[in-house]
Amino acid sequence: MKTLFILCLILLLPVSAQAVDPSEILNDPLMEKRARSISKGLRCVVCQNQSIDDSDAQLARDLRVLVRERLTAGDSDQAVVDYVVSRYGDFVLLRPPFKAATLVLWFGPIIIALSGLTGLILFFRRQKKYTEELAKETDN
């Protein structure tokens, strides 16, 4: 029974599919590592919630090859990312950049949570004051 349970748990493990084709992999392991980390941060524009590193789409594959070509040609990591952004916009970055247009995106949730918390604190304080006053009145 226990083994069966464990087996079932194993079935639930996500199968990590490898989209990168062996033929795409660069000979230089350090360069390949840079290519992989860049690819993980770039959105596949065909299947929008996957990175190009995860996606099997042909355009994603071509983008992976392009990333590697540019690295081999001597581009820095930032230059490669900048090139892709100059073609597809900030949208291709899975981690949105920190700039004026995205301030709401970055701080919005924190501000909403804090204002909710403040509201709660105010509510309970007043509640307490009210019950205290009520207690006083009944004492008299």
Partner 1 sequence: MNRLAYYIPLVLLGILAVYFAAGLGRDPKSLESVLIDQKVPEFSLPPIAGSSKGLSNTDLKNQVVLVNVFGSWCVACRVEHPFLMDLKEKNIVPVYGIDWREPDRKAGPRWLKKYGDPYTLIGDDPISKGAIAFGVTGAPETFFVDKNGLIRYKHMGPITAQNWSRTLKPILERLRKE
Do 92 and 84 contact (CB within 8 A), yes or no?
yes
Instruction: Choose, by CB under 8 A, the member of 33, 40, 59, 129 that binds partner 1.
Output: 59
Instruction: Choose, by CB under 8 A, the member of 58, 78, 138, 140 that binds partner 1.
Output: 58
- For 84-115, give the DSSP string: HHHHH-GGGBSS---SGGGHHHHHHHHHHHHH
3-class DSSP state of 43: strand
Min dist. Cβ of residue 55 to partner 1 (A): 12
Provide the mask over 73-112, with x wherever binding to partner 1 is found by CB under 8 A and - wherever it is not: -----------xxxxxx-x---------------------
d(CA 60, CA 95): 17
- Kindly state whether residue 63 participates in binding partner 1, applying the rule CB under 8 A: yes
Applying CB under 8 A, which residues contact partner 1? 45-46, 48, 58-59, 62-63, 65-66, 84-89, 91, 119
